[in-house]
Chains A and B, each alone.
Chain A
């Protein structure tokens, strides 16, 4: 069953990977942009720490903060999929029918495309950035703080985050069946995720009840939790809780996406000859 799936969707995966390779230059641009953003954030937080005169801020040292900036960014980068735009475009121009005439699930075939895409990015960007982060940490602390167990759990959490993010994006993409232009919604979704996922500000910095609520929302599972796991700020049984929450949110969004697809198929109006 699993082998069969791998075979059937392997093609979509390879197509995604080849597509990414064909447009390699794109991600160089992307990479430079993201790096610049990280350094801007780093200098901003540094200024905040200097101004406050304290060595820790809400439990974060400057070293923590620097790690957080780079880690959350790379997590956000990998788990943020392009599926909303890709799907909405296929719905709008009608190319989604080319998926529908093949014996595959539309969502899984799209996921396979996206994963294929991301694997290429992963190879080119993830490893160097992680290495950079660890070298920085070693220089700052004077000892190797890398923990293989945290790292593996972090990878698992990131994969869950990816699936969660994929289905959330899919839901927004399906909106294109009802609204021919989802541009505004896509921007709104982007801002919400950026803010509530902890990609901009660690959720730990928010006051009491606000922070508790934010941490319960699905967005926290997308960036904040994997990052905090890697940094060792979520530990012990709380790791299981965090992973459990991610899985619950995946199920919720998966269910909603399936439901929307079911309705959409009934009233599907494919555009164009």
Chain B
């Protein structure tokens, strides 16, 4: 194990047995006697490493296996095969010892005590993690300031709004100075302001303490703002591992031209495919009223050529060019 790696994941797979039940009462009765089982490979032979202090974005479409992977990394699930070494420990071996030095947020659940006021939740956590008084106070002050917990810190958790609860959950995951943070969709369902708060907290913790962070999200801005490196998985398999910039370079050749048309019929005069010899994947044309968006692969057709072709063929009210955003890149990756 290289001394700089906080997380090492080697050929890890996780299989689930799914019991197939035939529909209806007959199926229920039948399944009592002999169960038909199907094996689902939720995570399929994944390897990667994360350096100390790195923030890794873990992305992939719904059902890709992100949460399953996080559950293995946090010691909740035992891998079917493969090895995991985090902070010098095997997560599922000595769970109680291991989890002392990690923080976890599952955005769709809460680790807070539903009926306790938020302050008391933190006091409870202080006891569970045996945090010294002074360290605890410092930490609370910091979290209070970044995540703005003050307005609702006296309220029972069950009365918090989603955004308040999520901020509290993030704070709870950081209260004991964990060496590694696992955040599974920490911004799900939040408004821009709260998302911003949470990103700030993540960045500060990472910079101040060199906390290693793995984060899953469907919000690409999270990735763009927080992660230098991403691992993408699809159907349990790793499909990309590398710098975000490299991915943009590799897949980010798409450009968009937005046109405000004089007349909708004009669109029929444009024949990009023939003119530039484009494949189906290289071009996408959308028309909304008089607004046309032409998305194309700029390595096949130069932006300048496209523009001159359009301007030479039709008259336009307005025209603009933009770079396809990372979301678009990922969408294309998911498809491919």
Contacts and interface: CB of A to CB of B under 8 A. Distances in A.
Interface of A: 4, 7-8, 10-12, 14-15, 18-19, 21-22, 94-95, 97-98, 100-105, 265-266, 268-270, 272-273
Residue picked from A15, A103, A105, most chain B C-beta under 10 Å: A103
B113 A101 contact: no
B81 interface: no
A104 B128 contact: yes
B96 to A, nearest CB: 5
Interface in B62-99: 67, 71, 74-78, 92, 95-97, 99
B76 A101 contact: yes
Contact of B104 (A12, A19, A101, A269): A101
Contacts of A269: 16-17, 77
Contacts of A265: 78, 92
Contact of A102 (B92, B99, B184): B99
20 contacts: A8-B128, A15-B115, A18-B113, A18-B120, A22-B156, A94-B109, A95-B109, A97-B106, A97-B109, A98-B110, A101-B76, A101-B102, A102-B128, A103-B96, A103-B99, A103-B100, A103-B129, A266-B78, A268-B76, A273-B184
A13 to B, nearest CB: 10
A11 B125 contact: yes
B114 interface: yes
A98 B128 contact: no
Secondary structure of the A contact surface, majority rule? helix
Residue picked from B108, B128, B130, B185, most chain A C-beta under 10 Å: B128
Contacts of A98: 106, 109-111
Contact of A100 (B95, B114, B115, B129): B95
Residue picked from A15, A94, A272, A273, most chain B C-beta under 10 Å: A273
A270 B76 contact: yes
Interface string B108-138: 1111011110001001110111100000000
Nearest to A99: B111
A273 B76 contact: no
A14 B113 CA distance: 10
Given A11-B123, A15-B115, A22-B115, 12 more contacts: A8-B127, A15-B113, A97-B76, A98-B111, A102-B111, A103-B99, A265-B92, A269-B17, A272-B109, A273-B67, A273-B106, A273-B185
A18 B75 CA distance: 30
Contacts of B16: 269
A62 to B, nearest CB: 44
A47 B111 CA distance: 53
A67 to B, nearest CB: 36
Given A11-B127, A18-B115, A22-B115, A270 B71 contact: yes
Nearest to B113: A15
Contacts of A272: 108-109
A105 B96 contact: yes
A12 B232 CA distance: 38
Contact of B124 (A14, A19, A22, A100): A14
A63 B114 CA distance: 45
A22 to B, nearest CB: 5
Contact of A104 (B96, B116, B120): B96
Contacts of B109: 94-95, 97-98, 272
Contacts of B71: 97, 270
Contacts of B76: 97, 100-101, 268, 270
Contacts of B106: 97-98, 273
B128 A103 contact: yes
A103 B97 contact: yes
Contacts of A11: 113, 123-125, 127-128
Interface in B34-77: 67, 71, 74-77
Contact of B130 (A4, A12, A268): A4
B185 to A, nearest CB: 8
Nearest to B67: A273
B115 A19 contact: yes
A105 B114 CA distance: 19
A18 B112 CA distance: 13
Contacts of A7: 127, 130
A97 B71 CA distance: 9
B203 to A, nearest CB: 23
A104 B100 CA distance: 9
7 A-B pairs closest in CB distance? A11-B124, A15-B113, A19-B115, A101-B104, A98-B111, A7-B127, A103-B100
A103 B124 CA distance: 12
Residue picked from B78, B114, B127, B156, most chain A C-beta under 10 Å: B127
A266 B16 CA distance: 12
Contacts of A100: 74-76, 95, 99
A15 B116 contact: yes
A12 B106 CA distance: 20
Contacts of B77: 268-270
Contacts of B129: 103
Contacts of B97: 103
A213 to B, nearest CB: 31
Contacts of B125: 11
Given A14-B120, A100-B95, A105-B96, A19 B128 contact: no
